[in-house]
Amino acid sequence: MLAAIFLIEGYKSLREPERVVPAAEPVVRLLSERVPAVPANTKQAVRVNGAVQLVAGSLLAIGRLPRTSALAIAATLVPTTAAGHRFWEAEQDADRRQQQIQFLKNLAMFGGLLIAGADTEGNPSLAWRTRHAARATQRATRSTRRQAARMARTAKVSGQAGAKVGKLSR
């Protein structure tokens, strides 16, 4: 369900980038100056963003690489939101409220994508597995030490008993 909007909007941006190029221009210009991987051509940047949303949205929808897909979509959502929902620049109250609602909706989706990106699907995290393995190793070491001490005591008692039996049989 989370992927649906990105499938649709990613496809639209890939096929018809002209509809969002004017709004994306200032954000793309700023990003392309700071991030070498971002194309300076706004139309191309919008298409790349749309392609990432379409592919990652598809993968998320079918459950393939869900964590990576969710994080990829989250990364595209930041410039998309900054370009498309600049409510602070709106002059009319109604337009400002509408853009603010869309901004907050994207913020909520961003949070959902971050949760999906961190979700281990019920499997323990790497940190938990590491702590669990360390504790299991400590328990095994203590158990081995106790068992070795018991065997040493048993051997000592057996040795003493054997020595007594040896003296008696002489």
pLDDT tens-digit readout, 18-69: 999 999 999 999 999 999 989 999 999 999 999 999 999 999 999 999 999 9
Q: Is the pTM of this model over 0.85?
A: no
Interatomic CA distance for residues 155 and 149, integer angstroms: 10
Handedness of CA 63, 64, 68, 71 (dihedral sign): negative
Interatomic CA distance for residues 15 and 24, integer angstroms: 16
pLDDT for 72-124, tens place per residue? 999 999 999 999 999 998 999 999 999 999 999 999 999 999 999 988 777 77
The one-character DSSP state at 35 is -
What pLDDT was estimated at residue 166?
A: 65
